[in-house]
Amino acid sequence: MDVIPELVTVLMPVYNGERYLRQAIDSVLAQTYANWELVLVDDGSQDRTAVIAQGYQDPRIRYHYQENRGQAAALNKGLALAQGEFVTTLDADDWYPPDSLAVRVAYLQQHPAYAACYGDGYYCYETGQPFLKFTDHMPAGQQGDVYDTLVISPFYGTGATVLIRRQALLEHDIRYDEEIVWCQDWDFYIRLAAVAQFGFAPAITIYYRMHEGGMTMTMPQGRRLESLLRLRQKVLASARFAWAAPAARSAFFYDWLIQDLQGRLAEQEAIFSAAPFGRLSAAEQSRLLRLTAVKYISQGVHLPVARRWLRMAWRKAPFDTKTAVVTLLSLLNIRLTQKVVAAWQDRQKRSTPTSPLALALPDK
């Protein structure tokens, strides 16, 4: 597939985006880097999206309509239509500052070893007023082999901060997973990071609007969770994950077991039996077993299973004081165990800083 040198393809998937679409398109038109094409894929909109998009006469704007298939499918259609050496994205409710493309193109031109780079950005209220930098909320300045960090955190903030050499996508046949309806950019960049290096351009490259009509706010929690679980399974099955640092693998399993799979005992049990979990140190396996069990004990549910997992944890780390104490207490007095666990959790909660994003958007 031909790649036009120095051309940036901006992919914009749109579904009923009339409210903010003009601002998004206008922000592309206002770029100081003029060598771009905007591939706008209308994913079956039923509002005035088509009228607005087709009202622009700039030949660099290419409009394509398809029946509603979801954002990942729209992005894949955009990738199929892309002609540029570089590719990035922009949602229809967000917008670029004028030098967004220029900063990132210059960075990749100056750093040929990197297949992608990402910039900083701002979370904004619905009115457009910025309230928080991505780098005040996410790990900042990750560069080089970012895989270990990326499987734990989508540190780039939103996919639109990332500019990619399209040749890397073509060489490794990387496309969006259309079965993931939420967090598809995270899955996409994890797979890219498994084979390529990322750089960081320390400049504001996107304004990300938080509003009630956004996909994160409107998509049912169950659908979001199923997408996240598919992402986790894909990471676990990948050859690259086996080479991740022990701390990264432990953190990945912690998030999966303690947060994502709460109440899904069979799936938690399957992870404890999986070969990648078994490659963790015995002490780390014990810790994760204990923490998973303690979550249920604190809630007073699934106690027989929780006790069994605690015994497994104790066998793996017989000299770990916390594991020994909570295991013995759970066999003797479950209410006392719950009090001890509550005290531990309260102390941990006091030592953990509150997310600045949670403070800024307490109702979200």
3-state secondary structure of 70: coil
- How much of the chain is helix, strand and coil, in % rounded to 5? 50, 15, 30
The reply to whether 232 falls in a domain is no
In a shared domain, residues 159 and 81? yes
Round to whole Å and give the CA distance between 210 and 40: 21
Round to whole Å and give the CA distance between 13 and 15: 7
pLDDT tens per residue across span 106-137 = 999 999 999 999 999 999 999 999 999 999 98
In a shared domain, residues 185 and 290? no
The reply to whether 236 falls in a domain is no
In a shared domain, residues 212 and 251? no
Task: For CA atoms 86, 54, 94, 218, give the dihedral sign.
Answer: negative
Whole-prediction pTM: 0.92
Domain end among 158, 189, 221: 221
In a shared domain, residues 11 and 110? yes
Round to whole Å and give the CA distance between 342 and 297: 10
- The residue range of the domain holding 202 is 4-221
What pLDDT is stored for residue 360 in this prediction? 40
The reply to whether 79 falls in a domain is yes
pLDDT tens per residue across span 231-253 = 999 999 999 999 999 999 999 99
Do residues 25 and 39 make contact, with C-beta atoms less than 8 angstroms apart?
no
Domain end among 221, 253, 281: 221
In a shared domain, residues 316 and 187? no
Strand runs labelled E in the chain: 4-14, 36-43, 61-66, 84-89, 116-124, 130-133, 162-165, 198-209
* Chain Cα centroid distance, residue 107: 23
- Per-residue pLDDT band for 38 (boundaries 50, 70, 90) equals very high
In a shared domain, residues 195 and 325? no
The reply to whether 341 falls in a domain is yes
In a shared domain, residues 108 and 186? yes
Round to whole Å and give the CA distance between 124 and 133: 9
pLDDT at 291 over 80: yes
Amino acid at 55: G
In a shared domain, residues 149 and 250? no
In a shared domain, residues 70 and 183? yes
- Per-residue pLDDT band for 337 (boundaries 50, 70, 90) equals confident
Round to whole Å and give the CA distance between 129 and 186: 26
Over residues 69-95, the mean pLDDT reads: 97
- The size of the chain, in residues, is 364
Structural domain count, the chain: 2
The reply to whether 326 falls in a domain is yes
* Chain Cα centroid distance, residue 161: 13
In a shared domain, residues 202 and 314? no
pLDDT tens per residue across span 147-203 = 999 999 999 999 999 999 999 999 999 999 999 998 999 999 999 999 999 999 999
Domain end among 186, 221, 256: 221
What pLDDT is stored for residue 364 in this prediction? 30
Which CATH number covers residue 100? 3.90.550.10
The reply to whether 240 falls in a domain is no
In a shared domain, residues 76 and 186? yes
The reply to whether 239 falls in a domain is no
In a shared domain, residues 170 and 274? no
The reply to whether 235 falls in a domain is no
